[in-house]
Amino acid sequence: MSAVREPKLVQAPKRASSSTPKKAGTPVRNNTPARAAMVKRVNNNGNVRRASSTTPQYHDPDRNLTTEDAAEGTEAFKNRVSEITSFRVVARVRPFIKEELAEMEGQERRSIVEMTDTKTILLDPTDNWAPKAQFEFDASLWSIPPTHHIVHTFQDTRHKTHATQKDVYNLIAKDLVPHVFNGFNSCILSYGQTGSGKTYTMMGNYDHNAACGGDGEEGIIPRVSNDLFLILKQRMEEEEKTKQQRDRTKFRVEVSFIEIYMERVRDLLDPALRHTRGNEKLQDARIRQDPYSGPFVEGVTKYQVENWAQCCLLLDRGSQHRTTCVTAIHNQSSRSHAIYQITVLQEQVVPGKNKFALPSFRTQVGRINLVDLAGSERGGFQDYVKESAAINTSLLALRRVIDNLTERQNMLMEQARAEITGGYYQERPLPQVPFRDSVLTWLLSDSIGGNARTTMVATLSPLVKNYGDTLATLQWSSKARNLVTLVKMNDQAMVSDGMANRAGALDNAVRIQRQNLDSLRQTLRKKQEDAQQLERQTKTLKKKVDKTNARIKAIKEDQAALIIQRTFHRFMFYKKFESYELHYAKLRSAKTSGSASAGEFERIRKEAEAREQAAKQKLKEMESRTDAKAEVVARYEQCAAAREERRREAEERRAKICETINAGEVLRQYAEKRRKETDAAQAALRKTKEEFEARVQKLAEMEKTIADSKSTDVHAKNKQDAEGLAELRKRRDEIRARRFEVVKQLVALREKHKKVCRGLR
């Protein structure tokens, strides 16, 4: 199967400034709205009651509703659609792993947890496996296969089948996916001790190059991604059949993946970690508070995905950087809370109210948070004491939030029941929900006690040694089931000003041009550095050429000296040879004169022959040395042409460098000129936007005047405003033409830059 295409990056992370270091271990809560000041007031009975400040913190969208807005089909009615849902809790017991089965070899295999229908029963192994406690959940999932041959002691419970990953998904998450397309938020949490199967339930084993679904081991996150794109495909096919191209809804799916480790939020999809493993380079992210949508992570990386395989690719990429370690229960336990968020955005074009108004856009957003909580653990290594303390602190804060929400809800129910029946109710202050005690509860405040359908999976271990942790998980999960949340459709954001969109697009274009100019400046600086380096290399080569020329000159001088020396030796040889010939002639004449001096003659002759042989040998040696020197000189003379060619090439490169430096100066001047023109265009754009806003305000006043007046002055004023609007559009067209000219000049500048680069090569 072909490789999965890389998803599109739609939001890059914001890098933290090095000048403002953050304190480790504390959540960042900068720029959060101040809490409403609490004042006390005394009622008629004398009881003290807390009330918020009279100054509103935000605008209530229902404040100005009329009776006409209550009719079905109106926008106000759609925005106020809400639903009361309960906090669903599902219990799941995991099977025994291979190591545990090996330890129980030859013994009875018993589970401390039994399940019948929706009930979960905890057995006490110290009391002959008698039932210790019974808990009621929305569902109880038995995931121990029959092949484990468990001995059942509670009512002889026998499970013919066991809950697979598909059964878990169909029961927990399958019905939550369609609501995301209707503008509702959903949340699924996995809670339990370390090694109870939380990560396997949420992620499972998946392959993004294969198909998803069926009885495979894919977890909730891959299956949610798969079903989401199946529903998206169906909706797009229905849109193609029933609507025209311009009226169709545009869908976009975005994914983000973060972890909370040691009370710090870290981005697991940071592009800077693309080709790394582990969590050494993870950077902390900041949490911001929005008065309408709640808390969010500032500048978190978001990818636009097109299929479930890309979702799984990002899930796998982020899981590689998640913090894990070896614990007493699990070899690779997650030591951080992970939140995998899928956002579905639907954008629909709304026609303008009249022929002069540009169309606007209606956007609807639905989110689903898939949370894999870190497991609480009592036993651990000494090196991870702080880490375990941070995990247990966040989980304890989550429990306190659930407890206070439950208590607050019960008090409100008591008060409502007393008001309806007329019974007695002792008024007391409502408990505050400590969402800010932990980063985890702060980020999940909208999911736990706010606007989301929430389901929690309580994962259980069947081992006897985990009896205490299993009991604590069951008790708290049963208490969380009492929560009730009010789920409301997300408000539809309306962009009523089509011209504002166009102005934003022009601003983006100007920003892109500035980025391109910065890139050109950076390239120019790099070329200048290369030119300087080439100039230094040219100087080095010139020094080498001068050194070589000096050596050639010295060799030529040595060659001339050798030639003179050889000529001198030949002259001396011939002179000695002539003296020897003269001496031989004298000897021959002496020989003829008498034989008395024959012995002396023979001796002199032999000495002369010996001297002659020595002179010839010395002459041969001198000739061989002279030939060797001549050969060296000839070899240097042959290389002279190549050295001259290299010197000429160095001169040509030096000339090109000079040309490049001049071209760089021209590029810099041209870029500065374009930057000034771009700033002027942006200033004109801002001025146009201000004039346009003034015209829009003036048109609103005109519409109000038309309703009360029918005089001819109003028509004249309308005509004048129409002419002003035409002039404004004309100026907008001029700005577009100027922007097109700037882009055209920028393209020409790039072409010129490419030619310069090719000339350098």
Q: Quote the tokens at residue 240.
A: 């193609």
Give the model's confidence band at 380: pLDDT under 50 very low, under 70 low, under 90 confident, else very high: very low
Query: How many angstroms separate the CA atoms of 384 and 381, rounded?
Result: 6
Q: Is 196 within any annotated ligand binding site?
A: yes
Output 541 or 61, whichever has higher pLDDT.
Answer: 541
Query: How many angstroms separate the CA atoms of 761 and 751, rounded?
Result: 15
Lowest-pLDDT choice from 22-36, 214-228, 592-606, 741-755: 22-36
Query: How many angstroms separate the CA atoms of 285 and 339, rounded?
Result: 14
Q: Is 17 within any annotated ligand binding site?
A: no
> Cβ distance 285 to 299 under 8 Å?
yes
Q: How many CB atoms lie within 10 A of CB 245?
A: 7
Query: How many angstroms separate the CA atoms of 689 and 368, rounded?
Result: 38
> Cβ distance 392 to 242 under 8 Å?
no
pLDDT surpassing 70 at residue 289? yes
Flag whether 70 is in a domain: no
> Cβ distance 91 to 139 under 8 Å?
yes
Strands (DSSP E) contained in 24-63 are: 38-42, 48-52
Q: Beta strand pairing status for 38-42 and 48-52? A: antiparallel
> Cβ distance 88 to 456 under 8 Å?
yes
Task: Please indicate, yes or no, whether residues 475 and 520 belong to a single structural domain of this protein.
Answer: no
Query: How many angstroms separate the CA atoms of 93 and 97, rounded?
Result: 12
**Closest by alpha carbon to 427, among 51, 45, 40, 53?**
45
Query: How many angstroms separate the CA atoms of 371 and 384, rounded?
Result: 23
User: Position of tokens 């809790």?
Assistant: 89
pLDDT surpassing 80 at residue 294? no
Q: Once rounded to an integer, what is the mean pLDDT over residues 354-363?
A: 74
> Cβ distance 375 to 192 under 8 Å?
yes
Q: Is 183 within any annotated ligand binding site?
A: no
One-letter amino acid for residue 760 of the chain = L
Task: Please indicate, yes or no, whether residues 487 and 563 belong to a single structural domain of this protein.
Answer: no
What does DSSP assign to residue 359? P
**pLDDT at res. 36:** 34
Output 53 or 186, whichever has higher pLDDT.
Answer: 186
Q: What is the pLDDT of residues 620-630, one digit of tens each?
A: 787 777 777 77
Q: What is the pLDDT of residues 322-342, one digit of tens each?
A: 887 766 556 667 788 999 999
Flag whether 749 is in a domain: yes
pLDDT surpassing 70 at residue 144? yes
Q: What is the pLDDT of residues 96-141, one digit of tens each?
A: 988 888 888 888 888 999 998 889 999 999 888 889 999 999 999 9
Task: Please indicate, yes or no, whether residues 101 and 205 belong to a single structural domain of this protein.
Answer: yes
pLDDT surpassing 80 at residue 640? no
Task: Please indicate, yes or no, whether residues 463 and 518 belong to a single structural domain of this protein.
Answer: no
Output 369 or 13, whichever has higher pLDDT.
Answer: 369
Task: Please indicate, yes or no, whether residues 488 and 412 belong to a single structural domain of this protein.
Answer: yes
Lowest-pLDDT choice from 219-223, 291-295, 564-568: 291-295
Task: Please indicate, yes or no, whether residues 300 and 151 belong to a single structural domain of this protein.
Answer: yes
Kindly give the residue spans of alpha helices, DSSP state H, lying in 155-244: 165-172, 177-180, 198-202, 220-242
**pLDDT at res. 46:** 36
Best-predicted range by mean pLDDT (42-51, 167-176, 489-498): 167-176
Residue 659 CB burial class (10 angstroms; 0-12, 13-18, ≥19): middle
> Cβ distance 270 to 282 under 8 Å?
yes
Residue percentage of the chain with pLDDT more than 90: 18
Flag whether 633 is in a domain: yes
Q: Is 73 within any annotated ligand binding site?
A: no
CATH code, domain with 714: 1.10.287
Query: How many angstroms separate the CA atoms of 466 and 329, rounded?
Result: 10
Query: How many angstroms separate the CA atoms of 545 and 643, rounded?
Result: 8
| Average pLDDT in the chain | 77
Query: How many angstroms separate the CA atoms of 521 and 578, rounded?
Result: 85
Task: Please indicate, yes or no, whether residues 257 and 148 belong to a single structural domain of this protein.
Answer: yes
CB environment 619-651: b (16+ within 10 A), e (fewer): eeebeeebeebeeebeebeeeeeeeeeebeebe
> Cβ distance 335 to 384 under 8 Å?
yes
Q: Once rounded to an integer, what is the mean pLDDT over residues 577-594?
A: 71
Q: Which of 496, 528, 554 is the last residue of a domain?
A: 496
Count structural domains, the chain: 2
pLDDT surpassing 60 at residue 502? no
Q: What is the pLDDT of residues 406-452, one digit of tens each?
A: 888 888 888 888 888 877 777 888 888 888 888 888 888 888 877 78
**pLDDT at res. 69:** 44
C-alpha distance from residue 270 to each of 17, 203, 302 (Å): 16, 20, 9
pLDDT surpassing 80 at residue 576? no
User: Position of tokens 């101040």?
Assistant: 34
Q: What is the pLDDT of residues 441-457, one digit of tens each?
A: 888 888 887 778 999 99
> Cβ distance 88 to 118 under 8 Å?
no
Task: Please indicate, yes or no, whether residues 113 and 221 belong to a single structural domain of this protein.
Answer: yes
**pLDDT at res. 8:** 80
Provide the domain limits for residue 294.
8-13+76-496
Q: How many CB atoms lie within 10 A of CB 295?
A: 19
Flag whether 38 is in a domain: no
Q: What is the pLDDT of residues 708-723, one digit of tens each?
A: 665 566 567 777 878 8
Query: How many angstroms separate the CA atoms of 296 and 240, rounded?
Result: 35
Consecutive H or E run containing 265:
strand 264-267
**pLDDT at res. 492:** 52
Flag whether 27 is in a domain: no
CB environment 732-758: b (16+ within 10 A), e (fewer): beebeebbeebeeebeebeeebeebee
Q: Is 198 within any annotated ligand binding site?
A: yes
Q: Is 193 within any annotated ligand binding site?
A: yes
CATH code, domain with 413: 3.40.850.10
Flag whether 326 is in a domain: yes
Q: What is the dihedral of CA 159, 165, 171, 175, to 10 degrees?
A: -160
User: Position of tokens 């989110």?
Assistant: 367
pLDDT surpassing 80 at residue 760? no
C-alpha distance from residue 2 to each of 5, 208, 309, 316 (Å): 9, 11, 11, 18
Query: How many angstroms separate the CA atoms of 140 and 458, rounded?
Result: 10
Task: Please indicate, yes or no, whether residues 278 and 324 belong to a single structural domain of this protein.
Answer: yes
Q: Once rounded to an integer, what is the mean pLDDT over residues 540-552?
A: 89
Residue 151 CB burial class (10 angstroms; 0-12, 13-18, ≥19): exposed
Task: Please indicate, yes or no, whether residues 548 and 445 belong to a single structural domain of this protein.
Answer: no
Lowest-pLDDT choice from 162-166, 376-380, 544-548: 376-380
What does DSSP assign to residue 376? B
Q: Which of 496, 525, 560 is the last residue of a domain?
A: 496
Output 53 or 223, whichever has higher pLDDT.
Answer: 223
Task: Please indicate, yes or no, whether residues 162 and 277 belong to a single structural domain of this protein.
Answer: yes
pLDDT surpassing 50 at residue 382? no
Q: Once rounded to an integer, what is the mean pLDDT over residues 66-92?
A: 61
Q: Is 197 within any annotated ligand binding site?
A: yes
pLDDT surpassing 90 at residue 3? no
Task: Please indicate, yes or no, whether residues 490 and 505 belong to a single structural domain of this protein.
Answer: no
Q: How many CB atoms lie within 10 A of CB 105?
A: 7
**Closest by alpha carbon to 76, among 85, 65, 87?**
65
Flag whether 603 is in a domain: yes
**pLDDT at res. 495:** 39
Q: Which of 461, 496, 531 is the last residue of a domain?
A: 496
What does DSSP assign to residue 64? T
Q: Is 199 within any annotated ligand binding site?
A: yes
Output 137 or 21, whichever has higher pLDDT.
Answer: 137
**pLDDT at res. 326:** 65
Flag whether 55 is in a domain: no
Query: How many angstroms separate the CA atoms of 348 and 239, rounded?
Result: 12
pLDDT surpassing 80 at residue 603? no
